Amino acid sequence: MHHAYICDAIRTPIGRYGGALSSVRTDDLAAIPIRALMARHPGVDWAALDDLSLGCANQAGEDNRNVARMASLLAGLPPEVPAATVNRLCGSSLDAVGSAARAIRAGEAQLMIAGGVESMSRAPFVMPKAESAFSRSSALYDTTIGWRFVNPLMKARYGVDSMPETAEHVACEHAIEREAQDHFALRSQQRALAAQQSGHLAREITSVPVPQRKGELLQVTQDEHPRDTTLAALARLKGVVTPDGTVTAGNASGVNDGACALLLASEAAATQQGLTPRARVLGMAVAGVAPRVMGIGPVPATQKVLALTGLTLDQMDVIELNEAFAAQGLAVLRRLGLADDDARVNAWGGAIALGHPLGATGARLATTAVNRLHATGGRYALCTMCIGVGQGIAMVLERV
């Protein structure tokens, strides 16, 4: 078995819904971190790239018809380089990274780019075709997030709970207090703002040039979702499912835009292309859970990847847990035997503060994990996240 190394990782800033990146087409957005990797490594023979894999959850608008291939061509990679789009909803880009690593470890590839993209601002409305001739019925679905074109059998067997509803289910079943959720959200915001101010996040970001109606291009260089808030302000927010619910806009992840790309190589390819390995992908695992409590998915996925790699949670120096909701994040931590405020978890902020562009977030977790390992001198990192319709995914990295 060969080793699979992450040699570089870069992402765009994460934009708010309707914010700074909302005018950038999804395929153009996906091309930006790929182009940045190419610029950072001018000595690489990009024609030697075996494949490119990008995660994307929506694929209903400008991300249609294999957005990975579109982004590859728009970025300027040779047409001979193939590309594929992966869809495991929220886990898409972490799956893309893990699948690229598997191909390298199996000896079927030597050099790959993997990552993901999502422009939730530009997700379109879609209409189904009429089910009968001369039908005058119509329907319209917003593809930004959640269910559409629901199968009645799926609804009858598993329900079609919205993402906030699944978080409320998790909060109820695991007795996650509202106050604890707000404290969790505040920590995420405070840590993200501190990481911005210290320059930690800037090192993993490439700017996005955004055309303006008048004047020069606007260079977007910083995540725009973090907010300077207080516990009192968070406590005043009403529940989004029911007024007395515990899940609020303040303790949930955002609806966002962003893209991320990682360069992976075998040891031989890294040497040949003059690349410096930064981390080794030790393993990835996925697991299924009931759709109505999808947020608990990281627990079995983490248990599987730790068993696969022969490691323990105590050995993890860095833990990047996607904060889809504070409720599910806390439930996962408690089920895994970790403290609510474990210092290893999302030390530079999580999705509640940074945002959650669905198909790009997993790659962002891996990017941040690699950078944190090098910043702290740690050895092992765990990246894990829940996935809509009831799944979890987890990956273990080792600093080199």
Active site residue 260: no
The band of 6, judged by pLDDT with boundaries at 50, 70 and 90, is very high
Q: Does the structure show a pLDDT above 90 at 138? A: no
Per-residue pLDDT, averaged over 167-186, amounts to 98
State the pLDDT at residue 136: 84
- Say yes or no to pLDDT of 305 above 90: yes
- φ/ψ of 367, rounded to 5, equals -60, -50
Transcribe 294-337 into DSSP letters.
Answer: GGGTHHHHHHHHHHHHT--GGGEEEEEE--SBHHHHHHHHHHTT
Q: Does residue 213 register a pLDDT over 90?
A: no
* 90 annotated active-site: yes
**Model's pTM, two decimal places?**
0.97
* Extents of the domains making up the chain: 5-123+253-399
In this predicted structure, the answer to whether residue 134 has a pLDDT above a threshold of 90 is: no
The yes-or-no verdict on residue 1 having pLDDT over 90 is no
**265's tokens:** 């190589």
The residue-averaged pLDDT of 303-322 equals 98
Q: Give the pLDDT confidence of 360-389 residue by residue, as tens digits.
A: 999 999 999 999 999 999 999 999 999 999
- Residues 145 and 335: their CA atoms lie apart, in Å, by 27
| Architecture, CATH, for domain 5-123+253-399 | 3-Layer(aba) Sandwich (3.40)
Where do the H-state alpha helices sit in the chain? 26-40, 67-75, 92-105, 152-158, 163-173, 178-198, 231-235, 267-273, 298-309, 326-335, 351-354, 358-376
pLDDT of residue 315: 98
Q: Which of 390, 386, 369, 387 is nearest to 378 (CA)?
A: 369
Angle between helices 178-198 and 326-335 (to 10 degrees): 100
Q: What integer best gives the mean pLDDT of the chain? A: 97
pLDDT tens readout for residues 329-368: 999 999 999 999 999 999 999 999 999 999 999 999 999 9
Residues 107-128 have pLDDT tens digits of: 999 999 999 999 999 999 999 9
For 104, the 3-state DSSP assignment is: helix
Residue 31 has pLDDT above 90, yes or no: yes
For range 232-237, the mean pLDDT: 98
Which member of 7, 90, 260, 383 is catalytic?
90
pLDDT at 270: 98
Give the separation between CA 24 and CA 236, rounded to whole angstroms.
34
Evaluate whether 116 touches 260 at the Cβ level (below 8 Å).
yes
Predicted local confidence at residue 239, as pLDDT:
97
Secondary structure element (H or E) that encloses residue 291, with its range? none
Q: What is the mean pLDDT of residues 161-184?
A: 98
* DSSP, residue by residue, 140-179: -EE-SSS--S--HHHHHHH----HHHHHHHHHHHTT--HH
Which pLDDT belongs to residue 137? 85
Catalytic residue among 169, 200, 356, 383: 356
Q: Span 21-38, mean pLDDT? A: 98
Buried b (16+ CB within 10 A) or exposed e, 221-233: eebbbbbebeeee
For a pLDDT cut of 90, what percent of the chain falls above it?
Answer: 96
Dist. CA 184–CA 181, nearest whole Å = 5
Assess whether 56 carries a catalytic annotation.
Answer: no
Query: In terms of residues, how long is the chain?
Result: 400
Find the mean pLDDT for residues 274-283.
Answer: 98
Question: Tell me: the pLDDT tens digits for 46-89?
Answer: 999 999 999 999 999 999 999 999 999 999 999 999 999 999 99
